[in-house]
Amino acid sequence: MSKHLLVTGGAGFIGSNFVNYWYENHPQDKIIVLDALTYAGNRQNLINLENNPNFSFIHGDICDRQLVDNLLEKEKITTIAHFAAESHVDRSILTPSAFIQTNVIGTFTLLESFRHYWQKKNQPPEYRFLHVSTDEVYGSLDINDPPFTENTPYAPNSPYSASKAGSDHLARAYYHTYKLPTIITNCSNNYGAYHFPEKLIPLMCINILLGKPLPVYGDGQNIRDWLYVQDHCSALDVVLNKGKSGETYNIGGNNEVKNIDLVQLICQIMDEIAPNLPIKPSNELITYVKDRAGHDHRYAIDSSKLQKELGWKPKATVESGLRKTLQWYVDNPQWWQSLLSADYQKYYQQVYTTINS
């Protein structure tokens, strides 16, 4: 049976990769994207689908209950894939309130609306509410700690991760209280095409192309587990098609790397693939800056539950995923140049002068 998906945040980085992925693999399904087009949302990311009769785009806020109620009814939604969020840790340190509004109140609004709709339809068991979350809710690991499992206690450390933890608890509670068929996924750091310039990998890549300093926080020894966004999308596909409601699945790339090693690798690949770099070798641009407040030391995901129960495995290594990603930024300067707006420059000034002091 074909699905009618409501994809919230579908104009953002992971959401748009997911929508494009879904059409390649399930062209018969209908997708309705609901996105508020904040600074992080970009309709260009979905341009390939503009004329597809199975696709529509709604510009709106997930906190707007009336709008969501109407959409669920009108579009006969069977599945919500919920990506919409404020997603950047540094912005959550500067301006936390938008994180509480969208991540907590927005998720609550969607759950309430979906609950009423699902109950009115006599609780179809095949309906799903997929809540896309993060490994940051588990807090920070020391170097010898085992990776996060689905049973690791929550210990969020930033306003961003605390707001995501709040939304995860709501999704969990709606299953336990109402049996609403929710599934939660907690994934590690994604990277790939359409990643907004504020995040580590695109920021380093773009600064190399522009000959600007590469700001590494603290001593560069923090560790992240990098997940290529196409691998994340294939994981969400198996979760939506084979996952059990009420369950949580961790999704990780099996690619733990220290920030400084990652930045060195980015420099090395950029020196190979990018023509006419202003500064070469580009690692001359590496600049250590004051640390992020409350900076989590290490994230690592144990995704063996997803691998064993649903048969998923990530395909990309950091090297293979980075090569594709960096090549995409080299080939698509018009995409990222259009995002370096006056507002973005203001944010950049603020974060790299005030956040760390």
Q: Which of residues 156-195 bind ligand TDX (CB under 6 A)?
A: 189
Q: Which of residues 143-202 bind ligand NAD (CB under 6 A)?
A: 164, 187, 189-190, 196
Residue 298 neighbours by CB distance under 10 Å: 18
**Residue 321's closest CA among 209, 246, 234, 219?**
234
Task: Determine how β-strand 128-134 pairs with β-strand 214-217.
Answer: unpaired
Q: Based on CB atoms, which residue is closest to ligand NAD, 195 or 282?
A: 195
Q: Is 63 in the site for ligand NAD (CB under 6 A)?
A: yes
| Binding partner of residue 325 among ligand TDX, ligand NAD, none, CB cut-off 5 to 8 Å per kind | none
Q: Is 257 in the site for ligand NAD (CB under 6 A)?
A: no
DSSP 196: -
Please report which helix (H) or strand (E) contains residue 265, including its range. Answer: helix 259-273
Q: Is 15 in the site for ligand NAD (CB under 6 A)?
A: yes
| Binding partner of residue 217 among ligand TDX, ligand NAD, none, CB cut-off 5 to 8 Å per kind | ligand TDX
Q: In whole angstroms, what is the distance from residue 314 CA to residue 57 CA?
A: 30
Q: Please identify which residue in 222, 230, 264, 307 interacts with ligand TDX, judged by CB under 6 A.
A: 222
Sketch the per residue contact string, 77 through 106, with ligand TDX: x for CB under 6 A, - otherwise: ----------xxx-----------------
Please report which helix (H) or strand (E) contains residue 98, including its range. Answer: helix 97-99
Q: Is 134 in the site for ligand TDX (CB under 6 A)?
A: yes
Beta bridge partners, 183, equal 130
Q: Based on CB atoms, which residue is closest to ligand TDX, 113 or 163?
A: 163
Q: Is 94 in the site for ligand NAD (CB under 6 A)?
A: no
Tell me how far the alpha carbon of residue 154 is from its chain's centroid.
19
Residue 28 neighbours by CB distance under 10 Å: 9
Q: Please identify which residue in 93, 200, 208, 318 interacts with ligand TDX, judged by CB under 6 A.
A: 200
Span between the terminal Cα atoms of the chain, in Å: 55
Q: Based on CB atoms, which residue is closest to ligand NAD, 108 or 282?
A: 108
Contact predicate 52/98, CB 8 Å: no
Q: Is 215 in the site for ligand TDX (CB under 6 A)?
A: yes
Beta strands in the chain (DSSP E): 4-8, 30-35, 55-59, 79-82, 128-134, 182-187, 190-191, 214-217, 223-225, 227-228, 248-251, 256-258, 286-289
Q: Minimum Å distance from CB 354 to ligand NAD?
A: 21
Q: What are phi and psi of 101, to 5 degrees?
A: -60, -60
Q: Is 314 in the site for ligand NAD (CB under 6 A)?
A: no
Beta bridge partners, 301, equal 148
Residue nearest to ligand TDX (CB): 134
Active site positions, annotated? 135-136, 160
Q: Minimum Å distance from CB 280 to ligand NAD?
A: 29
Q: Minimum Å distance from CB 278 to ligand NAD?
A: 28
Q: Based on CB atoms, which residue is closest to ligand TDX, 14 or 180?
A: 14
Residue 146 neighbours by CB distance under 10 Å: 9
In the complex, which residues of this chain contact ligand TDX (CB under 6 A)?
Answer: 87-89, 134, 136, 189, 199-200, 203, 215-217, 222, 224, 259, 292
